Amino acid sequence: METGGEAGGGKPEYSIIVPTYNERLNVAIIVYLIFKHLPDAKFEIIIVDDGSPDGTQDIVKQLQQVYGEDRVLLRARPRKLGLGTAYIHGLKHASGDFVVIMDADLSHHPKYLPSFIRKQKETGADIVTGTRYVNNGGVHGWNLMRKLTSRGANVLAQTLLRPGASDLTGSFRLYKRSVLEDVISSCVSKGYVFQMEMIVRATRKGYHIEEVPITFVDRVFGISKLGGSEIVGYLKGLVYLLLTT
């Protein structure tokens, strides 16, 4: 198995934060793929696990034996505390000048990471975000209703908030660390609304945002955590941002 050890020498340039909850079947694959697609990058992977009862943390500890505890960091929390606070927790332990946030369920394929890094280097962007809603982007594995719900949520947000990015609800992004620290400190949302607020706040602060087309793939293993309560929360968050930004 590739460990990417030579590229990992010295201080990491990129800190990749991966929140997990019941991702025992996915976490080893996502870690392997990150190492595979970033053979020459200096990076660390920070797993923020919210007390998964399925043994996710045991798998991460085994991965540490393969790749090293300096490359795969386990920063666990006692219970589910929300997606936004998971990023804040991971950021506290990050060493890189750039921070990548991505999901552990394989919906965000690590093969896109080189494109994120290249786009940032070429443009000097403060944020590079993956988008499903431009040419060469898309979604795989969703039924028609979920596609319509996602597209409708984005169109509604675009119309009301004019955020300067085509995909507000995606959570596959690269940030300059200083920018993430600034933007995240002004966000109050939790859960899935957090991603939307991050981009809207960044736009209002004048940060430079670039996009990379990605294909979002519905999770292969495990159960989706998106439910009716998240949809209601999204609508409430939309109203909140409309009134406060």
Quick one: average pLDDT of 212-218? 85
Instruction: Report how far Cα 195 is from the mean position of its chain's Cα atoms.
Output: 9
At 43, the pLDDT band (50, 70, 90 cuts) reads: very high
3-state secondary structure the chain: CCCCCHHHCCCCCEEEEEEECCCCCCHHHHHHHHHHHCCCCCEEEEEEEECCCCCHHHHHHHHHHHHCCCCEEECCECCCCCHHHHHHHHHHCCCCCEEEECCCCCCCCHHHHHHHHHHHHHHCCCEEEEECCCCCCEEECCCHHHHHHHHHHHHHHHHHHCCCCCCCCCCCEEEEHHHHHHHHCCCCCCCCHHHHHHHHHHHHCCCCEEEEECEEECCCCCCCCCCHHHHHHHHHHHHHHHHHC
CB 85 within 8 A of CB 190: yes
Task: For residues 134 and 67, give the distance between their C-alpha atoms in angstroms, rounded to a whole number.
Answer: 36
Q: Are strands 138-140 and 72-74 parallel, antiparallel or unpaired?
A: unpaired
In one-letter notation, the amino acid at residue 209 is I
At 223, the pLDDT band (50, 70, 90 cuts) reads: low
Q: pLDDT: is 201 or 99 the higher one?
A: 99
CB 14 within 8 A of CB 88: no
**pTM of the entire predicted model:** 0.83
Return the structure tokens found at 15.
């800190």
Look at residue 103 and tell me whether its pLDDT is greater than 60.
yes
**Interval 128-174: pLDDT, tens:** 999 987 777 666 655 666 666 666 676 766 666 666 778 877 889 99
Q: pLDDT: is 152 or 116 the higher one?
A: 116
